[in-house]
Amino acid sequence: MAVLSENAPRFEKTTMSILVAVSFCHMLNDIMQSLLASLYPLFKANYDLDFVQIGLLTMTFQVTASLLQPMVGIVTDRWPMPYSLPVGMASTFCGLVLLGNAGSFELLLVAASLIGFGSAVFHPESSRVARLASGGRHGFAQSFFQVGGNAGQAIGPLLAAFIVLPLGQHSVSWLAVIAVVGMIVLARVGNWYISHRRQNAGKPAVSRALPLPKSRVVWTLLILVLLTATKNVYMASMSSYFTFYVIEKFQLSVQSAQVMLFLFLGSVAVGTFLGGPIGDRFGARFVIWFSILGVIPFALLLPYANFFWTCVLSVVIGLIFASAFSAIVVFAQELVPGRVGLIAGVFFGFAFGAGGLGAAFLGDFADSHGIAFVYKICSYLPLLGLFTIFLPRIPRYRVA
């Protein structure tokens, strides 16, 4: 493997139109997915659900995606499937239609699993497309792709608050038109993907040589998965139960609680976008250190804050904590080169599934000990970020 000199150009041309397209579709995908969590108060009232059942809904969605995403990533690393992207969006379309017309809790679970399957198919290949279009600016491309998803997660509660809650559960089906738009855009992305593969067919394949000893690579991946799972359990507690928490603690209306959730998820989107370019400039390892450790004091204070400081702290936590994700994905992709789909599947899938499992356990605690107790427990989760001290430095080799 040849090593580039210090004066060699670091980046190639970034294909912004494709990055915009996959980020836009990520936004559409996550708008539809976030509707599920945003409608929990409505489902709780319509179906007389307890917090354990709310947690099961989250777990069904996230575990479906969790179990399938790594497998999809492994398969597409070996046999790329450009047109799998609109197929995944079609599954989400079916899930939304069923969600709007479900007559029982069991059908809600089926709808959640269809949306989860759509997520499992979408993320690995779209993450690969973002990296292919990055021109070497991997942190920027990953954060730009991810910020679309975070923006979608922030917009979803607003659609729930101002469209679905006033008009009723059946109006969820109308929002399935969003999936149709996504299918059209992703079909065009698939065309670009095929063209890109043809243009680069004569180039040598990316080296899969590990930059560190295999045992250390495995250990580092386990740490990264632990950090991501910890972050996502905490985020699941915010997305699934934050509205119930502020309604109970501050006697807010459902719409006001949804606006607070929007503020938190909006700050997550901003933090995610900032994390990528900073990682390109200072390194992914630096961003992980800052994000995972920097959020600890604010998370510990949140359960004891008044209404004003709850708003402030939730925004600060979203900004800092979210900046780590794109850096973690890029760090893992550099750690295991040539396996973009697998890494995307693991970190978008398995680690997010851990958030779903965490949501189910937290729902049990919320039923037995109260929602305020859940947030006191969750305030200690970021302390697991101390494992970042074990992250190694990755040698900077680049193929000439």
Span 211-225, pLDDT tens digits: 788 888 889 888 888
What's the pLDDT score for residue 39? 81
pLDDT tens, residue by residue, 54-113 = 878 877 887 787 778 888 888 887 787 878 899 999 999 999 999 888 888 899 999 999
Comparing 24 with 390, the larger pLDDT belongs to 24
Is the pLDDT reported for residue 30 higher than 70?
Answer: yes
269 and 295 in contact (C-beta within 8 Å)? no
pLDDT for the residue numbered 13: 60
Q: How far apart are CA 308 and CA 13, in angstroms?
A: 45
Exposure of 40 in the CB half-sphere (CA atoms within 13 A): 27
185: nearest Cα among 24, 33, 391: 24
CB crowding 97-116: b at 16 or more within 10 Å, else e: bbbbebeeeeebbbbbbbbb
The DSSP symbol for 211 reads: S
In this prediction, residue 1 has a pLDDT band, given cuts at 50, 70 and 90, of very low
Q: Is pLDDT of 181 > 90?
A: yes
Packed helices 105-132 and 177-199: angle between N→C axes, nearest 10 degrees: 30
In terms of Cα–Cα distance, which of 333, 327, 301, 332 is closest to 314?
Answer: 301
% of the chain residues with pLDDT over 90: 11
pLDDT at 208: 67
Distance, first Cα to last Cα, the chain: 8
Give the pLDDT of residue 3.
39
Dump pLDDT digits (tens) for 250-284. Answer: 888 877 887 888 888 778 878 877 877 887 788 77
- Quote the DSSP letter at residue 8: S
**Which band of pLDDT confidence, cut at 50, 70 and 90, is reported for residue 336?**
confident
Three-class DSSP labels, 161-208: HHHHHHHCCCHHHHCCHHHHHHHHHHHHHHHHHHHHHHHCCCCCCCCC
The pLDDT score that the predictor gives to residue 11 is 38
**The dihedral sign for the CA sequence 394, 396, 397, 399:** positive
Spatial separation of the C-alpha atoms in residues 107 and 75, rounded to whole Å: 30
Strands (E), the chain: none
Q: What is the pLDDT, as a whole number, of residue 2? A: 38
Burial class (CB in 10 A: 0-12, 13-18, 19+), 348: buried
- 5: phi then psi, degrees, rounded to nearest 5: -75, 165
pLDDT tens-digit readout, 238-248: 777 888 888 88
Return the ∠ at Cα 395 (arms to 390 and 400), rounded to 5°: 155
C-alpha 35/C-alpha 391 separation (Å) is 36
CB 191 within 8 A of CB 104: no
Rounded CA-CA distance 239/318 in Å is 11
Confidence of residue 207 (pLDDT cuts 50, 70, 90): low
pTM of the model: 0.68
Which one is predicted more confidently, 153 or 379?
379
- Transcribe 80-121 into DSSP letters: --TTHHHHHHHHHHHHHHHHHH--SHHHHHHHHHHHHHHHHH
At 240 the three-state DSSP class reads helix
Gap between the Cα atoms of 337 and 129, Å rounded: 15
Q: Is 221 exposed, middle or buried (0-12, 13-18, 19+ CB in 10 A)?
A: middle
pLDDT at 202 over 70: no
Mean pLDDT of the chain: 81
The C-alpha atoms of residue 330 and residue 8 are separated, in whole angstroms, by: 21
Q: Please give the pLDDT value at position 396.
A: 59
Contacts of 320 (CB under 8 A, 6+ apart): 271, 290, 291, 294, 295, 298
User: What domains does the chain contain, in order, with CATH numbers?
Assistant: 16-200+209-390 (1.20.1250.20)
The pLDDT of residue 355 is: 66
Residue entry with tokens 């670091």: 10
